[in-house]
Amino acid sequence: MSEASSPDHLPHYRVRPRFKIQVPLTPQEVAGKFKAALDGDQASCLGRVYPTSVRLFLPYEERHYWSPQLSLTFEEEENGTTLRGLYGPRPTVWTMFVFFYAIIGLGVLIVGMIGLSYISLGKPGTILWWVPVMLVVFLTLYLVAYFGQKLGHKQMITLHRFAEKSLGMTIEE
């Protein structure tokens, strides 16, 4: 399978795709495998390994604004370790979009309250024309995020394959 194609089990365009699998290793072994893979000469990703989590991202020269990162957490269970993965943008990108969504939502709420107050007082509620405008801005922002995620999809596959290679197993959603 080529690097550009997507494995069947990897979600295409979903907000912050995630997975959960059970591995027959201890959390220390999982952390050790990722540390060894990241320290290797052929590592296609960078990352940080903590006792109960790993964060993987692409080398600086391959990153762009829409580059994803993979956050993995692991918990010890009776039969091994539960590994949870979450793909997402860098925290600054995620925070920016949440901030803009909140501003638009607050704007719709305020304009809606003012416009409906005017109407209840028998005055024209022309300010309500701003609601569809803000909804168009919201939709535009959503589409920008969608296409940004599409631009980072190949890199998400790279992160996924690196995690699979590090553990020596296939990770399915």
C-alpha separations of 134 from 17, 95, 111, 114, 124 in Å: 27, 19, 10, 15, 20
Q: In what order do the strands lie in the sheet with 53-57?
A: 18-23, 80-89, 68-77, 53-57, 46-50
How do the pLDDT tens digits run along the chain, 173 residues long?
A: 333 344 445 555 566 778 888 888 888 888 888 899 888 877 888 999 998 899 999 998 988 888 899 999 988 888 888 889 888 888 888 899 999 999 999 999 999 999 999 999 999 989 999 999 999 999 999 999 888 888 888 888 889 888 888 888 776 65
φ and ψ at 24, to 5 degrees?
Answer: -85, 45
pTM over 0.95: no
Domain 18-90+153-167 = CATH 3.30.310.80? yes
